[in-house]
Amino acid sequence: MQPILIITRPDPAGTLFAQDVQRVMRKAVPIINAPALRIVPIAYDMPDASHVIFTSARAVAQAPIGTGLTAWCVGGATAAAADAKGYDVRSADGDADALVAMITAHHPAGPMVHLAGRHRRGAIAARLTAAGLRCTTIEAYDQVALPVPQSLIDAAAGSAPLVAPIFSARSAQGLLDLTYTAPLHIVAISAAVANLFRHIPQARALTVGHPDADHMTDMTIAVLRGLDPQAE
């Protein structure tokens, strides 16, 4: 039975991810678009800071033009977004821990601001402050939870295998609340996300080797191909 791809990322990232998967597989893949969150911008006053920390491209979208500013970015996609907006980019190519380690090692002079979502992890500003840097957090957007669509509820109660790439703990929430008869294959961006599904008997969780969109895409495609006897 052909597997179904479950997209929980908010748009436009979720749609782009699904398009990338189908382009590489060179075939149509059944998809249920079930974004767990809606991104809502928050009005804010940008403080006087020469360094801006970004842990998502969503924050970059809410940021001012970066001319004359240095952007410290968690990974490649975020760095690319900041570069397109004119920032002088530094990328940790990893996770929040790698980002904090990179900034601490460089110990940049001048105030720093972490532009972030209302719901966030990693305590970046607090950890940098403890390391002797001047850093504050500004909330630039909210992540509002959305209801689970009926199509996903029905699929969970079906028999076709479900493949769900999960990019954050909050985007997993809708899936965690469902009752399953269908096999559930989780492609997790971190071990912490994978562990959220341990209580679901039908779930099998795999964690990518590096927490970025390219590795998530590659593993999602590998899982889909492994489940689909007609895949190339």
pLDDT tens for each residue of 3-49:
999 999 998 889 999 999 999 998 889 999 999 999 999 999 999 99
pLDDT grade, residue 232 (50/70/90)? low
> What percent of the chain stands above pLDDT 90?
87
Confirm if 161 and 1 have CB atoms less than 8 A apart: yes
pLDDT for 27: 84
Q: Which residues contact 43 (CB under 8 A, 6 or more apart)?
A: none
Strands (E), 49-104: 51-54, 70-73, 88-91
pLDDT for 231: 61
Q: Is the dihedral of CA 139, 144, 11, 43 positive or negative?
A: negative
Mean pLDDT along residues 71-99: 94
pLDDT tens for each residue of 90-117:
999 888 999 999 999 999 999 999 999 9
> What percent of the chain stands above pLDDT 70?
99
pLDDT for 11: 85
Window from 87-91, 112-116, 199-203, 210-214 with minimum mean pLDDT: 210-214
pLDDT for 158: 97
Mean of per-residue pLDDT scores for the chain: 94
pLDDT tens for each residue of 121-158:
889 999 999 999 999 999 999 999 999 999 999 999 99
Q: Which residues contact 72 (CB under 8 A, 6 or more apart)?
A: 51, 52, 53, 54, 90, 92, 99, 102, 103, 108, 112
Q: What is the side-by-side order of every strand in the sheet holding 31-33?
A: 31-33, 4-7, 162-166, 184-188, 203-207
Is the confidence at residue 225, as pLDDT, over 80?
A: yes
Whether pTM exceeds 0.75: yes
Cα 96 from Cα 104, distance rounded (Å): 12
Q: What is the maximum alpha-carbon separation in the chain?
A: 57
